A = this chain, B = another copy of it.
Amino acid sequence: MTIKPKAGERKRGSGVQYVYGILRDEILDLTLAPGAPIDEIRLAERLSMSRTPIREALVRLASEGLVTTLPNRSTVVANIDFMNLHTFFDAMTLMYRVTTRAAAQFHTPADMTAIKSRQADFAKAVEAQDALAMIASNREFHAEIARAGRNPYYNSLSLRLLDEGRRLLRMYYRSFDDRLPPEYVAEHEEMISAISARDLDRSDRLAKAHADQIVEQIRGFIARDHRDHVTL
């Protein structure tokens, strides 16, 4: 549940950031369904602020591909393009590989501490069989690795892909409420050890295997799901 600050209680200048964060979460959580229109006025009332900061947040979301702006008509939540998921899988696999490799090369001790901490969160979520927490902590784990790789270009693409992945996974965990294969925890541990040992090639190989496994899982979800997502 999101707590809504009263009208004047927010710091000046934080309006756009605030709206951006809320909308982003609601889109990735599927609280806002793909294709759903976003009404600026209703949003302004709900968050008790004027339309200006809300529009600025929407411009930012649009430039990241999370919403689509139809000129003079409502902005809508971006659709999931099931026809071209392979482009997503391709890019995600590549980014897993290059960021993990770069992390192996450039990480500092502080990075390793942070990565291990994320992995602990992930293990806890798996232990508790909490699918939503797994999705979130898995994202943070890989985001931390990307950060340790210290390449802002790879970093921003990775974050974008991780976020879209979060939305995709959410879609299926909601319908199936499946058990996650527990080997993910072990795979993460192996990746940590490869990064820590600065073994670039092994990091690369493990990242690719990990990505392939996730892609297979999502593919499995989709195969079991025979409704017509195409027009969604």
- Contact call A161/B153, Cβ cutoff below 8 A: yes
Q: How many residues of A contact B (CB 8 A)?
A: 31
A132 interface residue per 8 A CB criterion: no
Please, what's the 1-or-0 string for A63-87, where 1 marks a CB less than 8 Å from any CB in chain B?
Answer: 1110000011000000000001001
Q: Which of B59, B88, B150, B161 contacts A87 (CB 8 A)?
A: B150
Q: Cα distance A62–B56 when bound, in Å?
A: 11
User: Which residues does A use to contact B, with CB under 8 Å?
Assistant: 12-13, 16, 52, 55-56, 59-60, 62-65, 71-72, 84, 87-88, 90-91, 94, 98, 102, 150-154, 156-157, 160-161
Q: Which of B13, B87, B94, B152 contacts A152 (CB 8 A)?
A: B87
Q: Cα distance A135–B207 when bound, in Å?
A: 36
- Contact call B87/A153, Cβ cutoff below 8 A: yes
- Contact call B56/A91, Cβ cutoff below 8 A: no
* 28 A-B residue pairs with CB within 8 Å: A12-B72, A13-B72, A16-B59, A55-B56, A56-B56, A56-B59, A59-B59, A60-B60, A60-B63, A63-B64, A65-B152, A65-B156, A84-B150, A84-B152, A87-B151, A87-B152, A87-B153, A87-B154, A90-B102, A90-B153, A91-B151, A91-B153, A91-B154, A94-B98, A153-B157, A153-B160, A153-B161, A157-B157
Least Cβ–Cβ distance between A160 and chain B, in angstroms: 7
Q: Cα distance A56–B51 when bound, in Å?
A: 12
Q: Cα distance A87–B99 when bound, in Å?
A: 12
Given known contacts A13-B71, A71-B13, A157-B157, A90 and B151 CB-to-CB distance under 8 angstroms? yes
